Structures are given as structure tokens and as C-alpha cells.
Structure 1
Amino acid sequence: MSDNLLQDAKEEIIGMGKEGMAHPSTKPVLTGAAVGAVAGALLPVLSLPVGLIAGAGFMLYKRLRP
């Protein structure tokens, strides 16, 4: 992988879009989004969309930079 995180993320997201659930990153990122959404719903300082985006973003980052 290159040192450019944004380029790596772009390539990963495009791959996830093309391959759907067959892509190895899709399930972990969706799981992170679901966990983030639940946390956003339960915590008064976060909203559901913010939690969803944060959870998905965190899992995508962990897939790119383990």
C-alpha cells in the first residue's frame, strides 16, 4: 500500500462498491457502522448519523492501517 491514506481509502471504497458483499472490507465496515449507529442512538452527545459515519470510518481506517 502507498503512504497516501486518502488514495487508499478511495480505492478501497471503489472496490467495496464494485464487489459488494464479496469484498473483504465490506462486512467489517458495515459492522462498524452498525455499532457506531447504536452508540450514536444511546449517547446523548452523538446522533445516529454521526455514530454511523464515525463507526464506518474507524473500521475503514483499521482495514487500511492495521
Structure 2
Amino acid sequence: MTDPRRDDDPIDRYILKDAVEEAKAMGREGMAHPSTKPVLIGAGVGAVAAGILPIVTWPIGLIAGAGFMLYKRVRP
């Protein structure tokens, strides 16, 4: 029986490596990098959304929003 999700799929296999490389490039280039602004906007939206929700605190929302946008930039 074959596994429908193969181990040699580069999309799933290298996502962490690609995300780290993207974050390093964002750190080196600052606001000139094309991913910096969307990730910062996602962090802000996550922090505001967390402020509205009663259980989630703003740092968790900030990290979740930035992480989601970074994921969308690495894997559109």
C-alpha cells in the first residue's frame, strides 16, 4: 500500500527551513524586504484580535498573526 503523502514532497519537507531563511532575510533587509510589511500587518491584526478575545493575550495573538502571515509568504 502506498502512502498518499510522500516523504519526498518538497513543499512539506522544507517548510521550516524556508521559513527560517525568509525570517533571516527579513532581518537583514528590514523594511526593504517584500515579506516584512505583510508579516508586521499580520502581527498587528493578531494582537488586536487577541485583545478582543477574552482568553487569548496580545503576545499570543501577535505571534500567531505573524506566524500565519510568514507561512502564507513561504507557502502561498
- Unaligned stretches of 5+ in structure 2? 1-9
SS in 1 for 2:64: helix
Q: How does 1:1-66 map to 2 (within 5 A)?
A: 3=11, 4-66=14-76
Q: Which consecutive aligned stretches of 4+ in structure 1 deviate over 3 angstroms post-superposition?
A: none
> Looking at CA atoms only, which structure, 1 or 2, has the larger radius of gyration?
2
Shift of 1:17: 0.3
What TM-score do you get using the length of structure 1 for normalisation?
A: 0.95
- Unaligned stretches of 5+ in structure 1? none
What TM-score do you get using the length of structure 2 for normalisation?
A: 0.82
Q: Which has the higher helix share?
A: 1
